[in-house]
């Protein structure tokens, strides 16, 4: 199984809802590190799992959408606590829709909120 990884760093803001989390209940920023992992068992005719330039374009577009933004104000977070778990799922599902390489069998986002805490979400792709 081949794995290709690409990462991006960005700052976004949020505040948690639905509980008492002290300072996290108020608007605050996080320096996120998004680590995208793409897996597959076959390479294309060029020896690529996926075109990294294409992956980076989609990754930059998605990160650009969230960069310096308040997550709570984004429609995909409507009714959701903007936790790192929800954010990793939203990022993984969005990137999975945009990256169309046929050799991908799994896409995973590991989202670091700070140096000691991360959440991940994986999407399995069906062949066919």
Q: How many domains does the chain have?
A: 1
User: What whole-number distance in Å separates Cα of residue 78 and Cα of residue 6?
Assistant: 28
CATH code of the domain containing 91: 3.30.479.10
Give per-residue pLDDT as tens, 82-124.
Answer: 999 999 999 999 999 999 888 999 999 999 999 999 999 999 9
Q: Residue 60: which domain range?
A: 2-124
pLDDT band at 128 (very low <50, low <70, confident <90, very high): very low
Give per-residue pLDDT as tens, 11-29.
Answer: 999 999 999 999 999 999 9
For 21, other C-beta atoms within 10 Å of its C-beta total 13
SS3 state of residue 104: coil
Rounded to two decimals, the pTM is: 0.95
Q: Which helix (H) or strand (E) holds 66?
A: helix 52-66
With CA atoms as reference, report the closest residue to 12 among 64, 90, 89, 52: 64
């Amino acid at each position: 199984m081949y794995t290709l990884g690409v990462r991006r760093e960005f700052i976004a803001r949020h505040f948690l809802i639905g509980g008492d989390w002290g300072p996290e209940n108020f608007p605050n920023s996080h320096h996120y590190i998004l680590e995208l992992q793409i897996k597959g068992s076959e390479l294309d005719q060029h020896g690529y799992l996926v075109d990294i330039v294409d992956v980076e374009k989609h990754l930059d577009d998605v990160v650009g959408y969230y960069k310096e933004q308040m997550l709570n104000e984004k429609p995909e977070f409507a009714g959701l606590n903007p936790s790192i778990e929800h954010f990793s799922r939203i990022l993984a599902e969005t990137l999975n829709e945009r990256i169309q390489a046929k050799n991908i069998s799994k896409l995973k986002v590991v989202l670091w909120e700070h140096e000691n805490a991360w959440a991940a979400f994986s999407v399995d792709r069906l062949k066919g």
